[in-house]
Amino acid sequence: MRCRDKQSCQKWYERELKEAAERLESMRNASYTLQADVRVEWERRLDESRGYLNRGVARLEALRRANSDNWRTAAAHAEEAFTTLSEALARLDHWRPERRSMAA
């Protein structure tokens, strides 16, 4: 686990989820310049990642609502959701449509 207490966990996840949301929004804005065939696949991947972001936000909310007895479990679930989101963002970085659209 990345933190020792509930409040530091909340702050850390809030900051990380905010950065991920901004990154996804930036990627979506960049998608408007892509060719149509590449853009459809790119937006599908962005939507999938947005779903992971939404799951992370839900887990953060569960952490906020957790009491002092079960916050560690909620934090573990939040960390798992964040790891899944991070992996999805890494896959997006690896599958850059700019490279594919130039090759076409």
pLDDT of residue 104: 44
Residue with tokens 């962005």: 46
Kindly tell me if the per-residue pLDDT of 13 is higher than 90.
yes
Contacts 24+ apart (CB under 8 A), 94-102: 95/45, 97/31, 97/34, 97/38, 97/39, 97/41, 97/42, 98/34, 100/38, 101/34, 101/35, 101/38
Kindly tell me if the per-residue pLDDT of 100 is higher than 90.
no
pLDDT of residue 33: 86
pLDDT of residue 46: 94
pLDDT tens figures, 23-81: 999 999 888 888 888 899 899 999 999 999 999 999 999 999 999 889 999 999 999 99
* Residue-range domains of the chain with CATH: 6-103 (1.20.120)
**99 — pLDDT class (breaks 50, 70, 90):** very low
The pTM score is 0.85
